[in-house]
Amino acid sequence: MHAETVLTPADLIWPMFVTEGEEEEPIAALPGVSRWGLKGIVAQAREARALGIPCVALFPNTPAALRSEDGREALNSDNLMCRAIREIKNAVPEVGILTDVALDPYTSHGHDGIVDDNGYVLNDDTAALLTDQALVQAEAGSDIVAPSDMMDGRIGLIRTALEANGHHNVQIMAYAAKYASGFYGPFRDAVGSRGLLKGDKKTYQMDPANAEEALREVALDIAEGADSVMVKPGLPYLDIILRVKNAFEVPVFAYQVSGEYAMIEAAAAAGAGDRETLVMETLMAFKRAGCSGVLTYHAPLAARLMGA
């Protein structure tokens, strides 16, 4: 009766990895998480519906043969991501689909965009490709396109393109404050980009020392037409979530990223804490800080606990 913060399955977005073939592929760096073929990803979406989780987030493990310097497979309307969108929408249309807009699952060098001969990401060239990528995903049936690349100006370009092509109801969730973090390692394993990255992403992702910059980045994305914004990673940046929530009247989401998930799993496996308690306490922290929702690999476990 006196709880100030309430957490429900409707606050969760479940990230999922899709791969070619039909065999489940467990991800060693993410215990309990797998890549799924199209049939498997549909089954996972059905589970989300049964658990009351309103949205799933899709990330493709693009085959190595289809990765290139310019990430052109991202624009293929029959790529792995688009096929997964259509399969889920046909089977469970009431489950929302959030799709990652970035080139790193498609590039042979592992960066989120086009790079020059010195390995520096070219903002404007990349933003043009991201706009086309977002359109391809919207046409396949994505409900929310989520640019995670941190290029400047891409939200405005994507919003203009969506409106011009009749996708008035497709939302944009901007990864507005995405930090150059050490917590992303298991994710790179999951999408097959581990070992591909040349250099680092510090020229376009945020310095973990900066907070005021996050507010400037969020303000720009909102001004360009974002419907909601994201802070990533999650738990190390609760202060940023709170500051963004207090400064802007828009939905704020957090991504409890792969490294955060893996640490909880490792702690539980080592007997350092109770897994269920750790999961629920961290998710409550996001909600208490002001999140409208959380992307978490623990979504199915948390939803079951809340429904118990």
Q: Angle 208-214-215 (CA atoms, 0-180°, nearest 5)?
A: 155
Q: What is the dihedral of CA 68, 18, 12, 250, to 10 degrees?
A: 30
Query: For residue 172, which of 257, 104, 101, 114 has the smallest C-alpha distance?
Result: 101
**39 in active site:** no
- Other beta carbons within 10 angstroms of residue 242's beta carbon come to 16
User: How many whole angstroms separate alpha carbon 64 and alpha carbon 42?
Assistant: 24
9 CA to centre of own chain: 18
Distance (Å, whole) CA 83 – CA 90: 11
Residue 110 · residue 120 · CB < 8 Å: no
Of 89, 201, 232, 245, the catalytic one is: 232
Distance CA 16, CA 272 (A): 27
Report the alpha-carbon distance of residue 97 to residue 88 in Å, rounded.
8
Question: Is the CB of residue 57 less than 8 Å from the CB of residue 16?
Answer: yes
Q: On the CB side of 191, how many CA atoms lie within 13 Å of its CA? A: 27
Q: Active site residue: 178, 201, 245, 287, which one?
A: 178
Known catalytic membership, residue 232: yes
3-state SS string for 90-146: HHCCCCEEEEEECCCCCECCCCCCCECCCCCECHHHHHHHHHHHHHHHHHHCCCEEE
Residues labelled as active-site residues: 178, 232
